[in-house]
Amino acid sequence: MSDISARLASELNAQQQQVVAATKLLDEGATVPFIARYRKEVTGGLDDTQLRLLEQRLSYLRELEERRSFILSTIESQKKLTAELKADITSAQSKTELEDLYLPYKAKRRTKGQIAIEAGIEPLADALFTDASLNPEQHAEQYINADKGFDDTKAVLDGAKFILMERFAEDAKLLAKLRSHISQNGAIQSTVIKGQEQAGTKYRDYFDHQELLTKVPSHRALAMLRARNEGILQLNVNPEPSSENPAQLCANMIAQHYRLNITDQAASTWLLSVVQWAWKIKLGLHLENEFFAAMREKAEAGAIDVFAKNLKDLLMAAPAGPRTTLGLDPGLRTGCKIAVVDSTGKLLTTQTIFPHAPQNHWDKSLRTLEQLCRQHKVELIAIGNGTASRESDKLVAELMKANTELKLNKIMVSEAGASVYSASEFAANEFPDLDVSLRGAVSIARRLQDPLAELVKIEPKSIGVG
């Protein structure tokens, strides 16, 4: 625990005793808001931002330590835990690094490489890997084993190739080196799947698109991933877009990592095919899936952050205050729904008018509005910004012009979520006898009076901020 608290203290720019105190409170069931407001003297004044980060990172680091202990005990039970491997596992700072180190020791299904090892071909793989001057075909002859399915030199060499490929794919240091290179230099490439051009017109900007991984904003990343899930786009990670042959560049990186001679010796051609296939079949696909998962996670976090900021701006919008308000929910065929609420938000009356096509009862609607405004001493008119909002705004403008003594003010209000509210259990409890279509007009009026008080009744995903 002391290692975790020391690390958290460094990340939060706080004292270790502050972290220990906050951790104790969290473990006792206290929430972040409660600690931030009522336990400042215990935590030494840690603010809510620091506490949220502490809660998130504490969970991650504890899971990391649990996984580290499991991996150490598992490898030790296999009697394969060397001092060097133990030091690497103990010093691993992330789950990704830890899983890379554990990869060779994980229980896995029977692979082609394992089948070749069982047939006794591993010594050949080791010999060709160590000494590129050996002739692969000649040395493979002594490992032919028809009973095990290796009845010629080609099958034997393929078995040796699978052994090395799987070994490369489980090398934590090689994975880290390739991952680092791709994260700094790689690009995401998107191309349209043949025949999907019409179905995916909204994604046409990505039909032939390439962008550095370090530069992809969250909204573009999510759009491309969504199009891939819908079968519109094919996505790939190009490890080095500036190279004419990125796959060969990565194969060369693998060869350099193991100091393999793939140029002018007897086994060079065979070793070159091994590293090329290791990249194409094992490492390339593994890292590509990993980068897509990381990109989605990062993009979703960014999108949620934008959503939260937009939601905060909307909820904290300046209220019009306690003034009698007429809410107008515009519509064409079904008419405009009207609700008048008093200064406390209490519903006074409702009405439906039909000023627009096809009924076109313009003058009658003006008279109804005038009567309602005079009767209830309306000060504000909130107009929903949906269908027929411009026509309804024109109607209210004419009302105001003809009745200046009423001293009315009109404001266009977002009606996002009003229909969701009107059909919700909350609205049914508030207005059990009111028609669903009229409840939306009440919401429009109230959200002008006090946006926060009204919008908290609606699920954030329905408010139209992201």
DSSP 3-state of 319: coil
pLDDT for residue 1 is more than 60: no
In a domain, 341, yes or no: yes
Q: Is residue 9 part of a domain?
A: yes
Same domain, 276 and 127: yes
89 and 121 together in one domain: no
Residues 141 and 279 in one domain: yes
439 in Cβ contact with 427 (< 8 Å): yes
439 and 357 within one domain: yes
Residues above pLDDT 90, as percent of the chain: 82
Q: How far apart are CA 226 and CA 223, in angstroms?
A: 5
CB 422 within 8 A of CB 439: yes
Phi-psi region of 195 (alpha: psi -120 to 50; beta: other; left: phi over 0): left
Domain end, chosen from 74, 105, 136, is at 105
Give yes or no for residue 60 having a pLDDT over 80. yes
Mind listing the pLDDT tens digit for each residue in 321-351? 999 999 999 999 999 999 999 999 999 999 9
Average pLDDT over residues 9-29: 93
Q: Could you tell me the residue range of the domain that residue 427 belongs to?
A: 325-462
Q: Which two tokens stand for residue 49?
A: 């931002």
Please state the pTM of the whole predicted model: 0.69
- pLDDT reported for residue 188: 96
Contact criterion met (CB below 8 Å) for 239 and 181: yes
- How confident is the model over 367-415, as pLDDT tens digits? 999 999 999 999 999 999 988 999 999 999 999 999 999 999 999 999 9
pLDDT, one tens digit per residue, over 242-284 is: 999 999 999 999 999 999 887 888 899 999 999 999 999 999 9
Give me the CATH number covering residue 124: 1.10.3500.10
Q: H/E element holding 118?
A: helix 112-118
**Do residues 422 and 299 share a domain?**
no
The model's confidence at residue 192, banded by pLDDT at 50, 70 and 90, is: very high
Could you say which DSSP state residue 304 is in? H
CATH of the domain at 77: 1.10.10.650
Indicate whether 202 belongs to any domain. no
Q: Quick one: 414 and 329 in the same domain?
A: yes
Q: Is 366 helix (H, G, I), strand (E, B) or coil?
A: helix
Residue 228 lies in a domain: no
Quote the pLDDT of residue 108: 77
pLDDT digits (tens, 9 = 90+) for 225-251: 999 999 999 999 999 999 999 999 999
Q: What is the mean pLDDT of residues 2-23?
A: 91
- Structurally, how many domains does the chain consist of? 3
**367: domain CATH number?**
3.30.420.140
Q: What pLDDT is recorded for position 110?
A: 86
Report which residue type is found at 267: A
- 258 and 392 in a single domain? The answer is no
Average pLDDT, rounded, for the chain? 92
Q: Is 377 left (phi over 0), alpha (psi -120 to 50) or beta?
A: left
Predicted confidence (pLDDT) per residue in 111-126, tens digit: 999 999 999 999 999 9
Residue 159 confidence (pLDDT): 95
- Give yes or no for residue 305 having a pLDDT over 90: no
- Are 166 and 23 members of one domain? no
- Residue 229 within a domain: no
Please give the average per-residue pLDDT across 183-208, as a whole number.
Answer: 94
**Predicted confidence band at 2 (pLDDT cuts at 50, 70, 90)?**
low
CA atoms within 13 Å, Cβ hemisphere of 311: 16
* 85, 44: one domain: yes
